[in-house]
Amino acid sequence: MPQPLKTINEKVIKNWPKADRPREKLLKQGEHTLSNAELLAILLRTGTKGSSALDLSRKILQKFKTFRNMGHTDSVQWKEFKGLGNAKLAQVRAAIEIGRRFGEERLVDKVKVKSAQDIIDLLMPRMRDLKKEVFKVVLLDSQNQIIEIHEIIQGTVNQASPIIREIFQKALEYFSAAIVCAHNHPSGNPEPSKEDKAFTQELVKAGNVLQVKVLDHLIIGDGIWQSVLD
């Protein structure tokens, strides 16, 4: 039996009382008062026939559980949700990435590097879930304060020479006194490979020649990490 029109209309958020609508609630009471489903519903904007954006959000959260899980899933895993096209999916993933970058920027403003753990706290949230290997270099001044974090686009230590040239080109460009390098292992296992160790030896040698100290080379796994220099 077809669903009564009145029931369908009640599921459309614009037909709800204003105080119950996620967008109006956010503007009046603040974003911190909204549930994860309500925040996601604002990004989605619309649902499908007979299902509100909030209903769709709840289904998505039921499947993925957390925003972090949403951020590192393949697009194929979203196909089961009717009404969730490429545009909405792009909005969701862009918002999650903004959140990651905001967290990184906030930490960079405060960080004076005292240990490898400071770098891990900064990079782990974004790098632990990457599906491809990405290499980053953290540029430091003479007081071990972060100048810049430079990403070498999906490079690998198997391309050692190009990476080393680019690392020290950036280090010299920003007048860095020292650097910390880091890359992820998509497998989740941070144990250094033979290539990782050989690359790090070449990196340290180049740093000695150019008088830029290589403080560490960190490998990031899934919630765990390891230093190649240990």
| Mean pLDDT split into 10-residue runs, the chain, 230 residues | 45 54 82 83 79 84 82 77 81 80 60 89 86 90 91 64 84 95 93 93 95 96 93
Helix (H, G, I), strand (E, B) or coil at 190: coil
Structure tokens belonging to residue 132: 């491809």
Residues of the chain with CATH 3.40.140.10: 111-227
* Per-residue confidence (pLDDT) for residue 82, from 0 to 100: 79
Please count the CA atoms within 13 angstroms of the CA of 197 that sit on its side-chain side.
5
What pLDDT does 32 receive? 77
Determine the pLDDT at residue 7. 43
Q: Are 210 and 164 in contact (CB under 8 A)?
A: no
The tokens 């990079």 sit on which residue? 123
Distance CA 209, CA 228 (A): 20
Question: Looking at residue 13, what DSSP letter applies?
Answer: G
Contacts of residue 212, defined as CB under 8 A and 6 or more positions apart, other chains included, come to 168, 171, 172, 176, 177, 178, 179
Cα–Cα distance between 54 and 12 in angstroms, integer? 9
pTM above 0.75, yes or no: no
Q: How many CA atoms lie within 13 A of 52 on its CB side?
A: 21
AA letter at 176: S
Residues 6+ apart with CB under 8 A from 159: none
> 190 phi and psi, to 5 degrees?
-90, 10
Which is nearest to 41 in space by CA: 23, 29, 24?
A: 23
What sign does the CA torsion over 16, 19, 20, 24 have? positive
Using DSSP bridges, classify how beta strands 146-152 and 178-184 pair: parallel, antiparallel or unpaired: unpaired
Residues paired with residue 225 on neighbouring β-strands, in sequence order: 220
Laid out side by side, the sheet with 225-227 consists of: 146-152, 135-140, 178-184, 213-220, 225-227
- For 111-227, CATH gives 3.40.140.10
First-to-last C-alpha distance (Å) of the chain: 68
> 160, 196 in Cβ contact below 8 A?
no
